[in-house]
Amino acid sequence: MKAVFYNIKKHLVILKMFTKNYLISQMEYKCSFFTYLIVETIVLLSKLLYVGVTYNTGITVNGLKPEEILLFNGTFFIVSGVYGGFFMLNFSNFRTKVKNGDLDLLMVKPVSLQFMCTLSTVEFAVLIPNVGTGIVMVCYVWNVCQLQVSVFNILGYLFLILCGIVIVYNILFLPQLLSFKLIETNSLFKITSSLSNFNMMPMHIYPEIMKRIGIFIFPIFVVTNFPSMFILGKLNIWYVLWSPVAAILLTVLVRLLWKKSVKGYSSAMN
């Protein structure tokens, strides 16, 4: 157990170093960074227009008022911002590393190879606007709907978001493992990345069979729906327990498939 905590601490220190160094490198090309930030903000504004139209229509979804639906939207922006900031670019670059044999140098380092491949860069231009907007929306709904502000609610919400981030990481990284077998996986990457958009609205708008699949088989609805429902008091205890269980099961599955894929990897030096 002591070794586990030591490894976690070591990798957190390395992540901090990666984040600092990548931020410094981005600041060396400020024009490029701020251009990317502006583009990402424009994309975010286009999503907010959709949210605004939905809000102004005054529709209700399974008893959820427009203000409460905003909570789902805000949570979606937070999680998608974390995914876009920490994982998306790394996932995109991963298949290139496999194709070009760039994994060779990473494999000899005394650090988790999966960690090096999926958390080596941080896109602040994606992280800042999306997470910032999501937090503002969640705080707005919390105030307007007069939701109880308590340590239990805040910690529960953050815990379920953490579980959601782990789930979305595993779900969207799983198809990338095909890079070890297939030459081109760009189309698959785009398709799987778009799956997260299902979480922008409450899962109640989908048919019952689709909800079951999205909770228990392909738990994409667990990512942002569960934290929002928890705050609104609409999440039963079994779903609360299922969130960390799903995160753990997916992590174990992806880890096993990762190890199997790496064993079959042929390096640039064969």
The model's pTM is 0.91
Rounded Cα distance, 174 and 178, in Å: 8
Q: Which residues contact 103 (CB under 8 A, 6 or more apart)?
A: 97, 113, 117, 265, 267
Residue identified by tokens 């503002």 is 136
Q: How much is the CA Rg of the chain, to the nearest whole Å?
A: 20
Rounded Cα distance, 241 and 222, in Å: 11
Comparing CA positions, the residue from 66, 122, 73, 70 lying closest to residue 93 is 122
Please say whether the beta carbons of 186 and 95 come within 8 A. yes
CA angle 164–175–86, rounded 5-degree value: 45
pLDDT in tens, the chain (270 residues): 677 778 778 888 888 888 888 788 777 778 888 888 888 899 889 888 888 887 777 777 777 888 888 999 999 999 999 999 999 889 888 888 887 777 878 887 888 889 988 988 888 889 999 999 999 999 999 998 888 889 999 999 999 999 999 999 999 998 888 888 876 777 777 777 777 777 888 888 888 898 999 899 989 899 999 999 999 999 999 999 999 999 999 999 999 999 998 887 776 555
| Boundaries of every domain in the chain | 26-263
Rounded Cα distance, 171 and 246, in Å: 11
Q: How far apart are the first and last CA of the chain?
A: 36
